[in-house]
Chain A
């Protein structure tokens, strides 16, 4: 979508025009749904986050100063919604696991290359909640540890160690999927 079109969409949404609201939804909904599913373990939770996220987007879109950052801004809203849900339920568990795999780095990369996105998603979802969030935030979204720590209310060190453990477990899970 061109930046001019995005500007028009935003202006329409600010004026509460149904056509613009629907166009924004049609364009971004599949991407945002994918994010919601990645951050949750159940589909129903993902749908709740998705609905609340979009309502927030429409209500706060007038605050967006840089139209070219719309997608990034929306992503942040949906991620915040997901984190808020976990915080409300007090379900973020930062577990440690010492049963790491002896998989070599090359083997891990090969397996990762072979698996499709649904299997990788399954593997990420099967991680303990804290690790799942950090893998998503650091590896997929590209947030720095400092910001992750701020978002989750943990120290930078915890974030790093969780990510380290998460990688190891994830490799093991991917190996299991590959065997299946």
Chain B
């Protein structure tokens, strides 16, 4: 009876020891289970790879690109056109302000169009103050000091506008509507661009604001009509030339907005290894792998489309092919035996199952070496900034899709009939995101063709394999040679 009671207490004590007993399973087991499930073959996606986020980010990027293109194609040129069409205005006593405008359509508020030619008395100009309410700043101002007492005429700037039969008006806020795609209609409202301010000073006494004002001294005014006209003609010609030059440069830029680039890149691939919190206690530390894995050289290539957003800023995208490859040597002790001829090997990229077709089988101390090659297709979205004419900096994200993996395992001192069959590394991410940054030098070698060299670094932002014993971030450092054709 006593024995029975003691057995009961012994059993209870033993059972209590096992209450809530938990042992964390190795991470690779979940990958194996997941792959065997009918509906669970795909890994659980992190939030940033969810459909909603990807679609949202794509739409935002597309809108951003379209808006940027529209801004630089339609709005900015239009603003510049208004600026170019504006000629000096007159200020009398610093109070009244009027604007001159060339070729402005009839919907603008014309306040005075009947100014007679050549001579105008100051009293003849009656300015309607109500029309100035929208105007924040005058274009060019000339005070009443700039009238000559003798003939009471305006000085050259006014005369010029009179000769050209220009109209004096106020420029209200403008609204422009344009359609991108039906039914999307954009209404853009913009203010009159801030003009350059001219002020006339006498004997250099009047103070002027730095960088904002151009000075027209009294030397600009001559009493001789011929000289006046000569000066005006020269002034006009110079201005016309300047505008034409600007337009030509702009046309040149616009005509080469699109270009196609093909590149080839000898590159060096390696990885940064850090500890995985889930596997901190085991022997597979970063230094353990660093002493056994060696880098390799490869070639990458791709085709890119380049679009000129601004004079000094381009955006490029396309498709590229990259390789990440590592040579690995077990150095003994890396193989975990799972059967007579089978075993598991740990690498920084993940675990590989091996099957050796040899009578000796697999030993824990078998020295093995391998060559791992992981191939990626990459879609870059790069911004290219030209601080100088031929030098550029390019940077941006690349979206990588891992599509193939090659594993070659062999014995270090290879013997005959020692074939090792291996599986692919378990659990490598299909999608990854990298960041690319580089520096380039570009030189035109033919009419529309230019050649550039672009040393760069591309590093993975997410670890290669979440189930690996360490976190491994591959990177490529290469020297890209690009051939560019401008349309």
Measured CB to CB, the residues of A under 8 A from B are 15-19, 21-22, 25, 29-31, 33-34, 37-38, 44, 47, 50-51, 54-55, 58-59, 105, 108-109, 112-113, 117, 120, 138-140, 142, 167, 171
Contacts and interface: CB of A to CB of B under 8 A. Distances in A.
Contact of B40 (A16, A47, A50, A112): A16
Interface string B16-50: 01100111111001101110111110111000000
B25 A50 contact: yes
Nearest to A20: B40
A30 B11 contact: no
Contacts of B225: none
Contact of A109 (B2, B9, B30, B34): B9
A44 B344 CA distance: 11
Contact of A18 (B3, B24, B43, B338): B43
A18 to B, nearest CB: 5
Given A44-B338, A109-B13, A16 B24 contact: no
Given A51-B33, A108-B10, A167-B7, A140 B23 contact: no
Interface residues of B, number: 32
A121 B118 CA distance: 113
A33 B40 CA distance: 21
B372 to A, nearest CB: 24
Given A51-B32, A109-B10, A167-B7, A139 B44 contact: no
A105 B10 contact: yes
Contacts of A33: 22-25
A142 B14 CA distance: 12
B389 interface: no
Nearest to A42: B338
B210 interface: no
Nearest to A37: B23
A140 B18 contact: yes
Given A33-B23, A34-B22, A140-B15, A58 B29 contact: no
A30 B24 contact: yes
Contacts of B32: 51
B17 A18 contact: no
B40 A18 contact: yes
A12 B117 CA distance: 88
Contact of B13 (A37, A113, A142): A113
Given A112-B17, A113-B13, A140-B18, 4 more contacts: A22-B30, A29-B30, A31-B21, A51-B29
A31 B22 contact: yes
A132 to B, nearest CB: 13
Nearest to A108: B10
A30 B22 contact: yes
Contacts of B7: 167
A47 B351 CA distance: 15
B174 interface: no
Contacts of B30: 22, 25, 29
Contacts of B36: 51, 55
Contact of A21 (B21, B23, B34): B34
Interface of B: 2-3, 6-7, 9-11, 13-15, 17-18, 21-26, 29-30, 32-34, 36-40, 42-44, 338
B26 A47 contact: yes
Contact of B44 (A18, A38, A50, A117): A18
A38 B15 CA distance: 13
A34 B14 contact: no
Nearest to B7: A167
A54 B30 CA distance: 9
18 contacts: A18-B34, A18-B39, A18-B44, A21-B39, A22-B34, A29-B25, A34-B23, A47-B29, A51-B33, A51-B36, A58-B40, A109-B10, A112-B13, A117-B18, A138-B11, A139-B11, A140-B14, A171-B10
A79 to B, nearest CB: 14
Contacts of B40: 16, 18, 21-22, 58
A171 B24 CA distance: 28
Contacts of A21: 34, 37, 39-40
A113 B10 CA distance: 10
A78 B109 CA distance: 88
Closest 8 A-B residue pairs measured CB to CB?
A: A16-B39, A30-B22, A105-B6, A33-B25, A34-B21, A33-B23, A34-B23, A139-B11
Contacts of B9: 109
Given A29-B25, A47-B25, A139-B14, A16 B37 contact: yes
Contacts of A51: 29, 32-33, 36
A159 to B, nearest CB: 14
Contacts of B10: 105, 108-109, 112, 167, 171
B262 to A, nearest CB: 40
A91 to B, nearest CB: 16
A120 B17 CA distance: 9
Contacts of B24: 29-30, 33
Nearest to B33: A54
A58 to B, nearest CB: 5
B480 to A, nearest CB: 38
Nearest to A53: B33
B39 A17 contact: yes
A162 to B, nearest CB: 14
B15 A55 contact: no
A38 B18 CA distance: 10
Contacts of B13: 109, 112-113
Nearest to A106: B6
Given A30-B24, A105-B10, A50 B29 contact: yes
Contacts of A16: 37-40
A127 to B, nearest CB: 13
